[in-house]
Amino acid sequence: MRAREYIRAHRLRFIIAVIAVAVVWAAFVVLRTLPPHTVVMATGPEGGAYHEVGARYREILAQAGVELRLLPTAGALENLARLRDPRSGVSVGFLQGGTTDEKDSPDLASLGTVFYEPLWFFYRDVHLGRELEGLRGRRISIGPEGSGSRALSLELLARNGISERFAELLPLTPQAAGKKLLRGEIDAALMLTSWDSPVVRRLMAADRIDLVSFPRADAYVALYPFLNKVVAPAGVGDLAKKRPPTDVVLLAPKASLAVRRDLHPAIEYLLLDAAVQIHSGPGIFQKAGQFPAAESIDLPLSNEARQFYKTGRPFLQRYLPFWLAVLLARLLLLLIPVVGILYPLARFMPALYGWKMRQRIHKLYGELRFIEHALETRKSGQGPDDLAAQLDQLEEKADHLQVPVSYVGMLYMLREHIALVRGRLERQ
């Protein structure tokens, strides 16, 4: 009883304490679900297209207060391996089309395709026959181990009967291959990189370096659905020198921006917004607005990516700074179910409270009715002194009963009725 009376006497303090605990709990939940301040992206070799594009992502995310750390790798295959490994710390990376699928990488999702990645086949002073016989015995760079360039080059060369027994296949990066090709130290180089890559621009404009046009490109696309046929127009490398002298047909997979499924949704939206800023412009192989595209070539699109391509960025992120928008979104997400519970309770609690107060007074009325009945019947065996003592106890209970001001009238009426019964007892 003392504990109950203490709670009644300090009800306001108790309510404030409960609200304070709820606020602390809500703050803890919100802070735990905020996005990380640092994200690691697997790119590719330094100086390559993946790494150069990754640097642009880093600049845009830094404006929102998120640090994007770039992890140089050998290429798309190493990117895939690091994304699959939850202990690597890598959450986002570029993947070349045709490197994986949903079954082999269930923990990964795509944010869409971001650019074409042509397979450039440069050669130096080599007479190529119809079936590439001119490459027999030559030194050819096909990319380092772990790169998508090497995997795709080996597959396509094998289709044409070219293997390591046919020619010397070297594991060089695009930058190293370009330098050696210009110096005449190797005879040819295959490299999977974008048009914006500096080494591609140098080789396109260089004398005595030619670009292979893939024959039967439609057959390759039919055999490998992740490939696309693109055309490098004549003169695009150097109009004055007419480099290349004719249109060149290239095979090009599309690069995707892949993420781990446990990456925070707010970071995904930030990456998607950066992708629009970086990749939506026109290029020699793409039209304005073609990328980023809602294409799931290897991996399914994440839920956030599908929503982004339908409606754009979340409403709050359009008008507020990134961290403030995320914080408010989390608070709203937390408050909606709380309000959904508290609103009906707020309407029901006053009625419940009023019923409880009335029940306390009615309980005393019940005791008073029992005393009055005993007074009338005299069958209980209780004498006047016993009934008077019971009335005294009942009056004491009424004096110590704590009720709101709105119920004081009922309490005074109870005291008057006790006095009436006491008067009847005294008269008898």
Q: Write out pLDDT tens, residues 291-314.
A: 999 998 899 999 999 999 999 988
121: closest CA among 251, 230, 247, 217?
251
Q: Is the pLDDT of residue 18 over 70?
A: no
Range of the domain at 351: 345-427
pTM surpassing 0.75?
no
Give residues with Cβ within 8 angstroms of 420, minimum separation 6: none
Domain membership of residue 393 (yes or no) is: yes
Which residues face 249 on adjacent strands?
231
Domain membership of residue 370 (yes or no) is: yes
Domain membership of residue 328 (yes or no) is: no
Mean pLDDT of 61-67: 95
Dihedral (CA of 90, 92, 98, 102) sign: positive
180: closest CA among 171, 164, 251, 237?
171
Q: Write out pLDDT tens, residues 124-141.
A: 876 655 456 667 788 999
Q: Give me the chain's average pLDDT, please.
A: 84
The mean-pLDDT minimum among 83-92, 178-187, 192-201 falls in: 192-201
Domain membership of residue 421 (yes or no) is: yes
Q: Is the pLDDT of residue 7 over 50?
A: no
Burial letters for 1-27: b for 16+ Cβ neighbours within 10 Å, e otherwise? eeeeeeeeeeeeeeeeeeeeeeeeeee
Q: How many domains does the chain have?
A: 1
The mean-pLDDT minimum among 310-319, 346-355, 416-425 falls in: 346-355
Query: Distance between CA 390 and CA 199 in Å, rounded?
Result: 104
Name the more confident of 324 and 191: 191
Give residues with Cβ within 8 angstroms of 90, minimum separation 6: 40, 41, 42, 71, 79, 82, 83, 260
Domain membership of residue 363 (yes or no) is: yes
Split at pLDDT 50, 70, 90, the class of 11 is low
Q: Write out pLDDT tens, residues 203-226.
A: 999 988 999 888 889 999 999 999
Domain membership of residue 376 (yes or no) is: yes
Contact call for residues 302 and 261 (beta carbons, < 8 A): yes
Contact call for residues 83 and 105 (beta carbons, < 8 A): yes
Domain membership of residue 115 (yes or no) is: no
Tell me what pLDDT residue 132 has: 61
Query: Distance between CA 287 and CA 285 in Å, rounded?
Result: 7
Which tokens is 209 given? 């370096």
Domain membership of residue 375 (yes or no) is: yes
Mean pLDDT of 400-418: 81
Mean pLDDT of 71-94: 94
